[in-house]
Structure 1
Amino acid sequence: MSSPEIDRRFCVAPMMDWSDRHCRVFWRQLTEQAVLYTEMVTTGALLHAEPARFLDYDDCEHPVALQLGGSDPSALGKCAQMAQQWGYDEVNLNCGCPSDRVQNGSFGACLMGEANTVAEGVKAMRDNCDIPVTVKHRTGIDDLDSYAFLCDFVGTVADAGCSVFIVHARKAWLSGLSPKQNREIPPLEYDKVYQLKQDFPALEIIINGGIHTTEEAKQHLNHVDGVMMGRAAYQNPAVLCSVDREFYGCTAQQPSPEQAIDAFYPYVAAQLANGTRLNHMTRHVLGLFNGQPGARQFRRHLSQNAHKPGAGLEVLKDAVNCLNKPPHLRVHSG
């Protein structure tokens, strides 16, 4: 069974504690076409806990990819099979996260120093599923940061059957820097990623790292096959409103932030009825109206009220009512 082709011209990155299922449903109100990625899920969590807790998602999220953290080929193969059974469109192996917790589990960015291990994992994943198997990685780790090292890693993993590489265009320091610092301090190396596409023209190369606007993203498409936006999409979600038009040629009118939040209401109501707390969903929408009149009051109202026991949909609607109104008519809580 072959999977439908995924158009990765624009992807939204896997982000721990951020790109959960509620966030992805919200993003889907802003863009129908962008490929969305889950938070990283470890193979151990899937194999030794209740998998539905990590794998369940809403049908509207397609195309959606599951990102795995792990290094044991057998476990990766079983989890790739689960990804297909659950209906994910892609399964992605994390070879880029530099956190101590991930390193202690022998996966994430440290795997870049073990290309053969990654290749064995990719082969096991491909042997156990028919959906695309992709790898997300850095340009290097520690002092293993030459372009030749990057080529060796990509070439070895490609030989195992991986044809899609998502490259965070920074190397990672495995000690001495926090994960946050590893997203900011190592310099961006876009040229290395561009060169990868030239040297491996048959591979699909997606660039990630430091992309803040759709204009920046479109410039990268002159050199690579796709872009992945991370924190900018989370902190300023309205940037996603134009993705379908600018990257996929959709002629339908793009949603406004107000229309997107309206479209999110039914999901919020259904989740509240299932016992989900309001703030677990609304924490993802805080940046939606950045720059608009009333945006600060919108954020404040949610921050002060969404966490309260029994907080319902009216809290979110009251927050939206703060927008585009004279200050004396905006909702004031407390």
Structure 2
Amino acid sequence: KALLGREFELTDRKSGESNHNFIIKSGGEKYVLRVSKNISRRSRLQEEAKALEFLEENGLKEIPEKEWFGETEIGAVLIETYVGKEDLEKGDFTQEELRKSAKLLAEIHLTPIKKYNNFFNTEKKDKASLREIYATEYKKWSERPYREYLEIAEETDKRVEKAYEKQEELFEDVPDIKVSQRPVHGDLGFNVRRSGEKIFFVDWEYFKAGYPGHDIVYFFEHEGLSMDQRELFLGEYRKHRELGEEFEENRERYRKFLAFNDAVWAVKRIERGVGDEKKMRDIFEDRMSQLEDLHGGLLH
């Protein structure tokens, strides 16, 4: 609405896996224009638009504001306010920025599940079975990409096959315990921005009700935080929200799960010739090395 009848300048911005991103400048204001890459597939931008509405309604400040969303001839389009002046990349976090990130994530996780249910018209429980989370949602998240890799690879990497066997064992060993279920970002890797002393979280298309502990570990792994940085983050997080006793025990399990998924994601892109092959190869080898360490060298 703010752009109707006004001149604006459009520039390209780094695109993600699912969307093209552009910067709109108009009248001294900046916005982000996000366009779905695949018009034949239901876009997650609608989920992001709803997430931004929900978070704003619940008083969260350090996020983009939704300006407009609609389905168009070129696909789903979302316009949101531009927040932060620069992306925080691996190694960029100062101690204070880690503390602010921890506080912000805890604030999101403190949102009662009842508010989520009322807004999204769902019936999520306050507690969920950890085994069920892995057996349903997470198992699909691992199995489908792995099967796709087997179909497209001319010659499969035996390490990936061994790693998948370990992934299957991992699912069998998940304890049947109840864990808290709260609103979570769902993709908090490379989606933190800074502006002066402020920290912002962006790209909310995978926002959902889930286990907060996994939101934290996902952030740790994809930002490549050191052990000292992780402990600093957790120390600050616990000042605002408690973590269940299961967090530490499940932390390593989820790291294994993520490392395998990242490895398969990278090797699939190598096979398909998508993206920077050297970068994908580096990611693949890094994750395979992680799996070697996490599984005690049992992949050979």
For normalisation by structure 2, the TM-score amounts to: 0.26
Q: Return the structure number with greater strand share.
A: 2
Instruction: Select the structure with the greater relative contact order (CA < 8 A; seq sep ≥ 6).
Output: 2
